[in-house]
């Protein structure tokens, strides 16, 4: 009989296939390989969609309340943003293996080191704001992760004796700009929703809690990126480095703060 674990395993296998086929395609490009890698990644997204939906029904609440559930959601948003861009022809398939690898790392870490048991929600988390806040913020993080992959791609391509040429660099720049614009929208809306929820739950919309502060730092870094890109015409490696620094800030906000700093978001660990 099909269980939640089986669906999770399907997602793992699908991402692994996408990683292997996409990597082989990088060195020996074949149309079939590329299509199969895309199909693998798409299957992974579909499997995670089923997993999250099923878990939601089983728990009778949105499954975004602990690190395990959050990592599954992050892997889902990252691969969803990438697959949507890929299927619309907005992003090169060269990023398929790195996207699959990042999603796979999150899922493997979640299943190996974190409890997947469905636990009852503590009173502070029993709110619809949990769903809105976490989903919007993680869609933002997923977009920033794609921008990060494009930025590292750009930094590698611009270092190499450029057989890839200026088109690849221009493409990477366009992907960074677009995904960061999109991610910034979701990040600021997610932070604002979190602030409204904090006001409902704790009587204050901002407490300079480490997680709040780091989300602000992340937003400021991406604001610098957007102002530099669109108003000062920044481009090239400077832009790529800001996208990399921005994603490091995302990781500190998302993981680092939970383990290294005490705060109101401690339950997230």
Partner 1 sequence: MSEQEEQQRIAEARGPETPRRQPFKIIELLASMRLAIGLLCVIAMACIIATVLPQGADVTGLLQKNPGAHHWIKRLEAAGLTHVFSAWWFIGLLTALGASLSVCIARRLKALFAAGARPSGSILVFGTLFVHVGILLTLLGGVIKLFWSERGSLQLREGEQTAAFVTDDNRHVQLPYTLQLMKFEIEYYSTAANGKPEETVQAETLVLQGPDSDAGVEWPVEIGAERKVTPPAAATGSHQDWRVTVLRRIPDFMIDTSTHTVQSRSDKMLNPAILVRVAGNGPAAEHWLFARYPDFDMNAMSGQESQPAPFKLRYKVLVSAPEKQHVKSFKSALRVLKGDAVAHEQTIEVNAPMSYEGYSFYQSGYNEDDLSWTALLVVRDPSVPVVYLGFILLGVGAFLTAYWRAEKVKEDSLC
Closest CA to 247 of 168, 187, 160, 167: 187
Among 50, 185, 244, 264, binds partner 1 (CB under 8 A): 185
Judged by CB under 8 A, which stretch of 61-69, 94-102, 105-113, 174-182 contacts partner 1? 174-182
Among 228, 237, 241, 251, binds partner 1 (CB under 8 A): 228
Query: What is the token pair recorded at 153?
Result: 């791609």
47 binds partner 1 (CB under 8 A): no
What residues between 189 and 218 interact with partner 1 by CB under 8 A? 189, 192, 195-197, 199-206, 208, 210, 213-214, 216-217
Closest CA to 268 of 111, 68, 20: 68
Contact, 82 vs 99, CB < 8 A?
Answer: yes
CA-CA-CA-CA dihedral for 189, 192, 194, 197, to nearest 10: -120
Give the whole-angstrom CA distance, residue 245 versus residue 248.
5
251 binds partner 1 (CB under 8 A): no
Helices 96-113, 128-159: inter-axial angle, 10-degree rounding: 130
Among 10, 45, 48, 91, binds partner 1 (CB under 8 A): 91
Query: What is the token pair recorded at 199?
Result: 């006001």
268 binds partner 1 (CB under 8 A): no
Cβ of residue 227: shortest distance to partner 1, in angstroms? 6
Query: What is the token pair recorded at 157?
Result: 């391509």
CA terminus-to-terminus distance, the chain? 32
Q: In this complex, which beta carbon is closest to partner 1, that of residue 6 or of residue 170?
A: 170
Binding site for partner 1 (CB under 8 A): 89-91, 119-124, 126-127, 129, 170-171, 174-175, 177-178, 181-182, 184-185, 188-189, 192, 195-197, 199-206, 208, 210, 213-214, 216-217, 220-221, 223-224, 227-228, 230-233, 257, 261
């Amino acid at each position: 009989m099909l269980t939640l674990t089986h669906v999770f395993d399907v997602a793992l296998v699908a991402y692994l296939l996408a990683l292997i086929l996409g990597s082989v395609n990088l060195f020996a490009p074949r149309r079939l390989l590329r299509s199969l890698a895309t199909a693998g990644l798409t299957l992974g997204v579909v499997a995670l969609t089923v997993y999250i939906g099923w878990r939601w029904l089983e728990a009778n609440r949105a499954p975004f309340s602990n690190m395990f559930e959050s990592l599954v959601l992050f892997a889902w948003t990252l691969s969803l943003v990438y697959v949507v861009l890929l299927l619309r022809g907005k992003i090169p398939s060269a990023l398929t293996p790195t996207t699959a690898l990042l999603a796979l790392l999150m899922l493997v870490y979640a299943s190996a080191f974190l409890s997947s048991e469905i636990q009852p929600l503590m009173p502070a988390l029993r709110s619809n704001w949990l769903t809105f806040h976490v989903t919007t913020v993680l869609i933002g993080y997923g977009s920033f992760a794609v921008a990060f992959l494009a930025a590292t791609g750009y930094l590698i391509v611009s270092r190499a004796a450029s057989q890839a040429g200026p088109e690849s660099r221009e493409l990477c720049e366009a992907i960074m700009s677009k995904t960061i614009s999109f991610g910034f929208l979701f990040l600021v809306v997610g932070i604002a929703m979190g602030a409204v929820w904090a006001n409902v739950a704790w009587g204050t919309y901002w407490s300079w809690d480490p997680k709040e502060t780091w989300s602000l730092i992340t937003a400021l870094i991406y604001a610098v990126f957007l102002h530099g890109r669109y108003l000062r015409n920044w481009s090239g490696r400077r832009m790529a480095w800001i996208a990399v620094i921005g994603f490091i800030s995302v990781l500190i906000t998302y993981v680092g703060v939970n383990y290294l700093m005490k705060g109101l978001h401690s339950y997230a660990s």
